[in-house]
Amino acid sequence: MIIVLQKEASETELQDIVARIKHYGLEPHVIVGVARTVIGLVGDKNGLEPSFFEGLPGVEKAVPIMAPYKLTSRDAKAEDSIIQIKNVTIGDGKMVYMAGPCAIESREQILETAEQVKIAGASILRGGAFKPRTSPYSFQGLGERGLEYLQEAGETFGMPTVSEVINPSDVELVARYVDILQIGARNMQNFSLLRQVGHSRKPVLLKRGLSATIEEWLMAAEYILSEGNYQVILCERGIRTFETATRNTLDVGAIALARRLSHLPVIADPSHATGRSELVTPAGCAAVAAGAQGLMVEVHPNPDTALSDGAQSLTPRQFGQMIKAVQRVAGALTLSSTDEWWERNVV
């Protein structure tokens, strides 16, 4: 950390700050500049925050130099993490497709969708049973009954399943039925929930929050890893910006950067990122071109009768066509991944 003193900071204030730095077991390096004096801190700064110094008399600001995440970082683990879920592997270079309806509406609907997305090329079945909805008057999901249907559909068609958990007290329940626990964007900083899924032995799909920085996203993953659960899949799903023509703004730079900063697998959700079915394929291709190792896509047999998010759902047929396009992009990059640039840029 670097501490920048105020222009008018006194010698006494400087000495007090130096004393405090030593009190924390760190070594202060004072640099007297032309316009400002700054102090560099040397030592193990784990748990120390800029705010510990920013309140002190004479301090203008404190600037952290190191990233605050540890276990999530490539510094902690240089090679890519690979996550095995039944017969499916995530992060090993082969694209993984998670597909299904936004909300599970009935046994028939999820069985029908499962069959169709399986044929189209999906390897993991998604479906929401506990839905976080902006309005209390919107359909909130079928709850445990929905999970039963999802489990049945997954087993019938040989696909691992993923579903969102929104309440810490439901983690055990959801974990009984599904193979991957999903943390939604609105819960990315629901720290009780993060800790709870950290205690679970099930892999976790962690969506980036609507206005979460890449650092905050990795820190949210750190919560889960620090509880002992290392099976975390990061999912970029678009951030909130001033642009309203698309539902969110897919941040492909975040995909590329997260892969560089962290060893965890990174996938993308082009359905929520764009909110428009006609943009799902271009956005999915873009995410993969930027380094995403999989996609999560909303697919509904009849998007026009869907109980939620119909406008952004693909039909199974459209989904199959999307996979064809994405596979070509992924193939193109696999070819180029042996080149130096990939080595330099992503790994």
Residues 212-241 that bind its own copies (CB under 8 A): 213-216, 219, 222-223, 226-227, 238-241
Residue 191 interacting with its own copies (CB under 8 A):
yes
Q: How far is the CB of 200 from its own copies (least distance, A)?
A: 16
Of 34-42, 93-101, 109-117, 228-236, the window that binds its own copies (rule: CB under 8 A) is: 34-42
187 counts as binding its own copies under rule CB under 8 A: yes
Should residue 78 be labelled a site residue for its own copies when binding is judged by CB under 8 A?
no
Q: Tokens 């995410």: give the residue.
A: 287
The length of the chain is 347
User: Looking only at residues 293 through 312 of this chain, which bind its own copies when binding is defined by CB under 8 A?
Assistant: 303-306, 308-311
The DSSP code for 14 is H
Report if residue 10 touches its own copies, rule: CB under 8 A: no
Decide: helix, strand or coil at residue 136.
Answer: coil
In the three-class reduction of DSSP (H, G, I as helix; E, B as strand; rest coil), residue 50 is classed as coil
Binding piece for its own copies, criterion CB under 8 A, among 86-94, 110-118, 173-181, 247-255? 247-255
Beta bridge partners, 239, equal 249
Does 92 bind its own copies (CB under 8 A)? Our answer is no
Q: Nearest CA to 158 among 197, 119, 214, 106?
A: 119
Q: Which of 179, 309 has the CB closer to its own copies? A: 309
Stretch that binds its own copies, among 89-97, 199-207, 228-236, 325-333 (CB under 8 A): 325-333
CA gap 280, 203 in Å, rounded: 26
Residues 6+ apart with CB under 8 A from 198: 204, 223, 224, 225, 226, 227, 228, 229
CB of 263 to its own copies, least distance (A): 15
| Residue 114 CA, distance from chain mean position | 24
Question: From CA 168, how far away is CA 192, in angstroms rounded?
Answer: 6
Q: Are 156 and 112 in contact (CB under 8 A)?
A: no
> DSSP 3-state assignment of 163?
strand
CA distance 206 to 251: 16
**String of contacts with its own copies for each residue 102-131, x by CB under 8 A:** ------------------------------
CB of 347 to its own copies, least distance (A): 11
> In the set 11, 79, 137, 201, which binds its own copies (CB under 8 A)?
137
Verify binding: residue 42, its own copies, rule CB under 8 A: yes
Q: Which is nearer to its own copies, 12 or 345 (CB)?
A: 345
